[in-house]
Amino acid sequence: MPATIAVPHAPATELVDELSGMERAVALYASDMPGRYRLQGPEDRNLIGWIAQGVARLGREEIRRRASYLCGHRKLWLRDMTTPEIDRRHKERFPSARRLSLAESMASTSLLWVRPVPAARDLPAVIDGPCPKCDGAGKLWANWVIDDASGWFEEGYGPCWVCQPEGGAA
Ligand SMILES: [Zn+2]
């Protein structure tokens, strides 16, 4: 094991609290965090430095964009709905599943002691490619529940719950 680890300059939590867990994971993935890093206690300040480094490398907008795609991919993956095209784009962004898994686990521990501001929780899940559910139309023809108690349904178009941000079913 290396005795010293290069940790970037002085951590500032003001930047990090504006980032959701997914955004922090993307930043850590892009940082110099060693591939076999282990947490140094419950509040590991090294993570703050690496998150800041990742943001400096990719830029705030790119962090958000990649995190949104990561959310979108996770959403599909959980339902076994990813397509080869969407998987390919995901792997281009995150070639190492192992590093991504480490980055996600480190990012989630940081949420416990650097709480995200409310706006940081609004990260939309974005599908990078044609939506496998609606084929990119953004809407679905279905029976929509108008009133559950009386069993009132109406048939028509509604927003696709997979690729539209307000579609619910998080
Ligand atoms: Zn869709």
SS (H, E, C) the chain: CCCCCCCCCCCCHHHHCCCCHHHHHHHHHHCCCCCCCCCCCCCCCHHHHHHHHHHHHHCHHHHHHHHHHHHHHHHHHHCCCCCHHHHHHHHHHCCCHHHHHHHHHHHHHHHHHCCCCHHHHHCCCCCCCCCCCCCCCCEEEEEEEEECCCCEEEEEEEECCCCCCCCCCC
104: in domain = yes
Domain assignment present for 31: yes
C-alpha 7 to ligand 1 mean position (Å): 41
29 Cβ partners below 8 Å, 6+ apart? Answer: 54, 94, 99, 100, 103
Mean pLDDT of the chain: 89
Minimal CA–CA distance to 139: which of 110, 166, 170?
166
Structurally, how many domains does the chain consist of?
2
Distance from Cα 130 to the centre of ligand 1, integer Å: 8
pLDDT at 16 over 70: yes
C-alpha 44 – ligand 1 centre gap (Å): 39
110 and 138 fall within a common domain: no
Position 88 in a domain = yes
**Predicted local distance difference test score (pLDDT) of residue 168:** 43
Beta bridge partners of 141: 157
Asked if pLDDT for residue 167 goes beyond 60, the answer is no
Ligand 1 center from residue 141 Cα (angstroms): 11
**Cα 64 to averaged position of ligand 1 atoms, centre (Å):** 20
What's the whole-number mean pLDDT along residues 25-36?
97
CA 157 / ligand 1 centre spacing (Å): 12
pLDDT digits over 91-124, tens only?
A: 999 999 999 999 999 999 999 999 999 988 889 9
Residues above pLDDT 90, as percent of the chain? 69
Q: Which residues surround ligand 1, an ion (CB under 5 A)?
A: 131, 133-134, 160, 162-163
Task: Write out pLDDT tens, residues 51-88.
Answer: 999 999 999 999 999 999 999 999 999 999 999 999 99
Q: How remote is the CA of residue 135 from the centroid of ligand 1, in Å?
A: 6
78 and 159 within one domain: no
Q: Is residue 105 part of a domain?
A: yes
Tokens of 92: 């281009």
Q: By residue range, what is the domain housing residue 30? A: 13-122
Going from the Cα of 58 to the center of ligand 1, the distance in angstroms, rounded, reads: 28
Residues 69, 134, single domain; the answer is no
| Cβ atoms of 53 and 31 closer than 8 Å | yes
Residue 162 CA, ligand 1 centroid: distance in Å: 5
At 7 the pLDDT is: 64
